[in-house]
Structure 1
Amino acid sequence: MSEPRWLDATQQLHWRAYVDGSIRLNEIMDRDLKTRHGLSTSEYEILVRLSEAPDRRLRMAELAAHASQSRSRLSHTCSRLESKGLVKRDDCPNDKRGVYAHLTDEGFAVLERAARDHVETVRSFFVDVVEPDDLAAIGRAFTAVLKRIDRTR
């Protein structure tokens, strides 16, 4: 068994800052969305992905990939959104196994209101406190992280 490639002190410092910062930022975004709009961050992300899709609908499998959720978790989340009247699920007409998630007009209206507050939270706690060059570096870094993750799936 080979020895682990331990992080040096600087790497450990940056890694812990990322872990702590991302957890706390996600908690703030989740709390704000729930308090102001009755949505969790995962519900919000599903509404966003559907709003960006053609005809505001995606197959559940594709939505799961875009929203970074397992199909099982996505199904539960969509059930909650359906009970709120924000999403509707329909069978795929040309594939009996396929199911579409469709953003309703009410869901789009809720998303429009939530997005106004959400973007302010993102700006206040992330974009406005990170230098533009660092923000670009974060974007490049996580693009590389996502590519690595996608290659391992």
Structure 2
Amino acid sequence: MTAQPPADRRQERADDGIAVWRTYSGVHARLAGHLSRELSRATGLSEADFQILDALLDAPETRMRVLDLRWELQWEKSRLSHHLARMCARGLLEREVCATDARGWDVTLTTAGRDAAERARRVREASVRRIVLDTLGPDLLDRLAEAADVLAERLERAAEEDPECRAARPAAAPGRSGGPAQSASAAPSAQAG
């Protein structure tokens, strides 16, 4: 048997990488759907509701500038604006003129919003423990965290290289993540708590 030419080996590795990517994408979609359905059944909240409530729960005084929340969630402006309006109408959030910049808005949790956020977080953490953490175990979790850190760093560089992304990024985004590319090792441990 003759050895494969180097170009063929490179193509084979590239094809294997695409297969891994497709598998990851499919698993991610199924996992996200499963977690969203469990959350909705247990709390009546949508995934979008949870993302907003969870971000605000970690923000100082459960308050964030809408611009910072938009950056953290990586949502389009109109999507966030409409969703915040619906959540305000449901009594989960309040919107106020930003104290430090009258051109902007702050959003904060109401008491009902805080209660909903805390309950939803407990439900989500229990689901993640059961479906992900207990399934993977410590060794695979370490490898997953390592891969996530590498990708987070690459995404941060890509954001810095992208003029549109640089222009949209808040100067100093307070809150829990410091932007969308938080590293897995810097994130609060999913086991804690």
**What's the TM-score bracket when you normalise by the shorter of the two chains?**
0.7 to 0.9
Does residue 1:41 correspond to 2:47, yes or no? yes
Report the equivalent of 1:54: 60
Per-residue Cα deviation, 1:86-138 (whole angstroms, up to 9, x for no partner)? 11110013322110010111111111222222112111221111131221221
CA shift at 1:151, angstroms?
A: 2.0
CA shift at 1:9, angstroms?
A: 4.5
Where 1:89 maps in the other structure, the secondary structure is: strand
CA shift at 1:54, angstroms?
A: 0.8
Q: How does 1:69-88 map to 2 (within 5 A)?
A: 69-88=75-94
Amino acid at match of 2:18: Q
Name the CA shift for 1:135/1:93 in 2 (closer, same or farther; >3 Å): same
Aligned length: 149
CA shift at 1:21, angstroms?
A: 0.7
Amino acid at match of 2:21: W
Does residue 1:149 correspond to 2:155, yes or no? yes
Amino acid at match of 1:108: R
Does residue 1:13 correspond to 2:36, yes or no? no
Structure 2, unaligned stretches of length 5 or more? Answer: 1-9, 160-193
Structure number with greater Rg is 2
CA shift at 1:143, angstroms?
A: 2.2
More strand by share: 1
Q: Distance in 1 between matches of 2:138 and 2:16?
A: 22
> Relative CO higher for 1 or 2, CA cutoff 8 Å, sep ≥ 6?
2
Q: State the 4+ residue runs in structure 1 displaced beyond 4 angstroms.
A: none
Where 1:93 maps in the other structure, the secondary structure is: coil
RMSD of aligned Cα (Å): 1.8
Q: TM-score, normalised by structure 1?
A: 0.87
CA shift at 1:146, angstroms?
A: 2.2
Given that 1:85 and 1:106 are in contact with CA atoms closer than 8 Å, whether structure 2 keeps it comes out as yes
Structure 1, unaligned stretches of length 5 or more? Answer: none
Does residue 1:25 correspond to 2:22, yes or no? no
Name the CA shift for 1:131/1:8 in 2 (closer, same or farther; >3 Å): farther
Amino acid at match of 1:133: D
| Percent sequence identity over aligned pairs | 32
Q: Distance in 1 between matches of 2:137 and 2:99?
A: 49
Amino acid at match of 2:97: D
Q: Distance in 2 between matches of 1:97 and 1:144?
A: 37
